[in-house]
Amino acid sequence: MSHSDETALSGLSQLGGASDVASSPEDAVLERVPNPHPDTNYTARFTCPEFTSLCPVTGQPDFAHLVIDYLPDEWLVESKSLKLFLQSFRNHGAFHEDCTVGIGKRLNEVVAPRWMRIAGYWFPRGGIPIDVFWQTGAIPEGLWVPETGVAPYRGRG
């Protein structure tokens, strides 16, 4: 590990110790670490099959399966900080579209990847599933991005 990598890791506030979940996504701290392979095109994927937030109207829980893919540049998202960020939505009221796109934009701002997408597969609310997809642009040529592996909602049919 280079000295600059050690310096970047020493600035992390959540890794390696107990950390509380922020009271809101705005208060959550997303951290980044140096990409050890910035000269290589590869896809990094995070899957959160049990994401929860609250309906901003009824206060009832909403559930989603999130899949986040990105092509790192100089930085990687630090996974513990991502987990705590996603958990901060548990008591946050927002529509499905706001949660999904907001998570993608916040990650894009912090990590500044070459490319990113987020797929939010939301379980039905009022009998209608809402799936939300956002990406920063076309998939870069030659980048292997597997399918998300999440089937569309079919109910009992």
Note the pLDDT of residue 36. 97
Task: Name which of 80, 101, 64 is nearest 22 in CA terms.
Answer: 80
At how many degrees (to 10) do helices 79-87 and 96-111 cross?
150
Note the pLDDT of residue 80. 94
109 phi, psi to nearest 5 deg:
-65, -40
Note the pLDDT of residue 126. 81
Is 116:67 a contact under the CB 8 Å cutoff?
Answer: no
CATH architecture of 27-135: 2-Layer Sandwich (3.30)
Note the pLDDT of residue 3. 47
pLDDT per residue as tens, the chain (157 positions): 554 555 555 566 655 566 778 889 999 999 999 999 999 999 999 999 999 999 999 999 999 999 999 999 999 999 999 999 999 999 999 999 999 999 999 999 999 999 999 999 999 988 889 999 999 999 999 999 999 999 888 776 6
Is 73:113 a contact under the CB 8 Å cutoff?
Answer: yes
Note the pLDDT of residue 155. 73
User: What Å distances lie between residue 157 and 15, 37, 152, 153, 154, CA to CA?
Assistant: 44, 45, 12, 10, 6
pTM: 0.88
Alpha carbon distance 21, 89 (integer Å): 10
Give catalytic residues, as residue numbers.
55, 62
Domain assignments of the chain as residue spans, ordered by start: 27-135
Note the pLDDT of residue 13. 63
